[in-house]
Structure 1
Amino acid sequence: MTISMYQASVPVFTRLLGNCAAFLQKAEAYALTRDTDAYPLLEQRLAPDMFPLKIQVQILADGVRGCTARLARHELPAPDDWRFAVFNRGYHQDFHESEQSFATLIAYLRDTVDYLQTIRPEEINGTEELPVEVTWRGNTRHFQGLPFLRDYVLPNFYFHLTISYAILRIAGVPLGKQDFEGVPVYVSVPAS
C-alpha cells in the first residue's frame, strides 16, 4: 500500500488545524474561568527568543495554505504573500498583527481549513517531482514536491503545532494528549 501526496497533506492538515482550533477554544475558556484577560496567553512563549502563541498559530496556518497552494499549482497573489508563506519567516516584522484574540485566531484556522477543503486529490497527487519555489524577502528556495512536503513542510507543521500546544500547556490550560491528537481515527484490526 502506498500513501498519496494528498493523503499525506490535506487530511492531516485539516484534522490537526481543527484540533488546534479546539485547544485554542479551551484556552479562551480557561482564561475566562480564571477571570483574566486572554491576551497574555496569546503573548506567551516557551523561551524569550521564540515567537509567541499568536505567531506560532499564524505560521501554522500560513504554512499549510502555502504548501497546499504550491502543490496544487494554484496561482499565488504574489510569491511572498504572507498568507502563503511556508514556514520561512524568521523575523517578527514579517507577520501582520491582525490576529489579536482567540476568536480571530480560531477564525484564521477555520479559514485555512475552508481553503484546504477546496483542494481536490487530483490537484496534489502525482506532484512528487513537481518543482516548488518558496520566495521570501527576495530569497527563493527550490524543492521538489515530495521532499518539500516530507522533509520541510511536515516537520515545520508539527513543530509549530506542538509549540502552540506546549505554550498553552505550560500556561496551565488543561489540555491532554487527546486534545492534540483529536478523536481517534485508527481502525482496530482483529488478531489473526
Structure 2
Amino acid sequence: MPISLYDAFVPSTRQILGSVQALLDKAEGWCAEQGCGEAAIVGASLHESMLPFSFQIKSVAQHSFGAIEGVRAGTIDGMGGAMPGDFAGMKALLAKAADGLAAVTAEEMEGLIGRDMTFVLPGMKLPFTAENYLLSFAQPNFYFHATAAYAIMRAKGVGLGKRDFLGQLRMKM
C-alpha cells in the first residue's frame, strides 16, 4: 500500500509540534529558575546573523498547519504574520497550529494533490504543486526551525535531551 500525503506530512508534524510546545514550557521554567526574563530566550539566537528564537517558533507554526492553509489558498506569504514577542504568544501560535493539524483529514490531504501552490517572498515567487511544496519545502523548513529552537535553548543552558526533541513516539502497541 502506498503512503498517503497525509501520512507523509501530518502525523510526524504533529509529533514534533507537540515536542516544541513542551520545549516552550521548559524554556519558561528555565527562565523562572534562572531569575531572568523570558527575553533571555525569546530574543536569543545561535549567531548574530540568525533570526531569534521567536522567529523559529513562528516558522514552526507557519511550516506546519500554516503550510496546509497556504495549500488550501494556493499561496502563502513567506514573511506573513506577526512574530510573537513572548511565551504566551508563542504558545497560542503553536496551539492554533496543533488544533488545525488535528482537524485535517486524510481525505482532504489527498484532495490537495496536484493543486498549484506558490510560496511568495519579497521579489520572489516559488511555484510548486501542493505535495511538492509540503514535502520538499514546508516539511524540511519545519524540521529546520524546530531544530533551531531546540538548539537555541540548549545553547542557553536549558536542560534538554534528544527525547525532548522527539516528543511522543508512535510506537507499535
> What's the TM-score, normalizing by structure 1?
0.81
Q: 2:97 aligns with which of 108, 112, 124?
A: 112
Whole-angstrom distance in 2 between the partners of 1:112 and 1:127: 19
| Amino acid in structure 2 at the alignment position of 1:116 | L
Larger radius of gyration: 1
Give the drift of 1:138.
Answer: 5.7
Q: Classify the secondary structure of the residue corresponding to 1:173.
A: coil
Q: 1:180 aligns with which of 150, 165, 170?
A: 165
Give the drift of 1:147.
Answer: 2.0
Matched with 1:142 is 127
| Amino acid in structure 2 at the alignment position of 1:103 | A
Q: Deviations over 1:88-118 (max 9, x none)?
A: 33xxxx6624x12112211210011112222
Q: Deviations over 1:115-172 (max 9, x none)?
A: 2222221111154432212233364221112321221111111100100000001110
Q: Which portions of structure 1, spanning 4 or more consecutive aligned residues, are displaced by more than 4 angstroms?
A: none
Give the drift of 1:13.
Answer: 1.8
Q: Classify the secondary structure of the residue corresponding to 2:171.
A: coil
Between Structure 1 and Structure 2, the one with more helix by share is 2
Cα 1:56–1:117 change in 2 (3 A) is: same
Matched with 2:15 is 15
Greater relative contact order: 1 or 2 (C-alpha under 8 angstroms, separation 6 or more)?
Answer: 2
| Amino acid in structure 2 at the alignment position of 1:15 | Q
Aligned CA RMSD, in angstroms, stands at: 2.0
Q: Classify the secondary structure of the residue corresponding to 1:47.
A: coil
Whole-angstrom distance in 1 between the partners of 2:171 and 2:3: 15
Whole-angstrom distance in 1 between the partners of 2:66 and 2:123: 17
> Does residue 130 of structure 1 match 2:92?
no
Matched with 1:32 is 32
Matched with 2:62 is 62
Whole-angstrom distance in 2 between the partners of 1:12 and 1:22: 15
Whole-angstrom distance in 1 between the partners of 2:110 and 2:127: 19
Give the drift of 1:69.
Answer: 1.8
Number of residue pairs the alignment of both structures matches: 173
> What's the TM-score, normalizing by structure 2?
0.89
